[in-house]
Amino acid sequence: MITKRIIPCLDVKDGRVVKGVNFENLGDVASPVDMAKIYTSSGADELVFYDITASAEGRRIFTDILTETASNVFIPLTVGGGINSVADFDRVLKCGADKVSVNSGAIRNPGIITEAAKLYGDQCVVLSCDIKRVNGEFRVFARGGRDDTGMEAIEWIRRCVGMGAGEVVVNSIDTDGVKGGFDIEMLDAVCKAVSVPVIASGGAGSIDDFIELFRKVPTIDAGLAASIFHFGEVSISDLKDRMAAEGIPVRRL
């Protein structure tokens, strides 16, 4: 039976891992390569690296880090942040990424999804979506959750999957950084709308939150989190032991 995936997310800026609360107040954690190795040996099923640098110099450092990580860590690696063209896909795939996630780049130019899916296959294209409730509807936000695009999220996700996105990361801005649990209502709505794998992001504060996620949204494929793993509040091996005890299919080392 296929297992539910646990995915630590590393936001990388100037060669270091950072994590913001509600996307602000970025605090420094550790070396991305070291963290990737630690997570792999503690049972992470996959890693996500987000490049949150804006400068060309920062981008070069990020690419070097990616290369070093992919030379040392042999589990799937998804890369996002600053992906605006097929050339950006090419740049990170050559450095060892397996999947590439698009967010604002797809909002500006949805055609990038079709183009990349044709070149690299649907399985390579991950749609990442920052969503917040506005006037009773799920709204897509761009630029790291700063800009309201006015687009309804479920429709946007359906459209992107139709164009070739092979996986969807749903990040709820409403629950992100609050550590009060995943956004069950939002995730359920997305899982009902599409048939590709859906990854839950935003809100995990404890092991119980993951258990609630996999119980209440049985079709969700993976849970993603950052700071609770980075700061050791939840260990991946404890989390997986508990999932197994609860009868949730999980890969253990």
Residues that bind another protein (CB under 8 A): 1-3, 5, 40, 45, 67, 70-72, 74-77, 93-98, 120-124, 166-167, 195-197, 219, 221-222, 251, 253
Closest CB to another protein among 114 and 149? 114
Phi/psi for 163 (5° steps) reads -85, -10
Closest CB to another protein among 31 and 67? 67
Task: Mark whether 11 is an active-site residue.
Answer: yes
Query: Which residue is it, tokens 């060669």?
Result: 15
Q: Which residue among the candidates 45, 130, 176, 183 is catalytic per the annotation?
A: 130
Task: Mark whether 88 is an active-site residue.
Answer: no
Sequence-distant (≥ 6) Cβ neighbours of residue 1 within 8 angstroms: 249
Sequence-distant (≥ 6) Cβ neighbours of residue 104 within 8 angstroms: 84, 142, 143, 144
Q: Which residue among the candidates 11, 88, 183, 221 is catalytic per the annotation?
A: 11
User: Least distance in Å: CB of 16 to another protein?
Assistant: 23
User: Least distance in Å: CB of 180 to another protein?
Assistant: 27
Residues 228 and 179 sit within 8 Å (Cβ to Cβ): yes
Closest CB to another protein among 52 and 73? 73
Q: How far apart are CA 156 and CA 139, in angstroms?
A: 9
Helix (H, G, I), strand (E, B) or coil at 229: helix
Q: Which residues are catalytic?
A: 11, 130
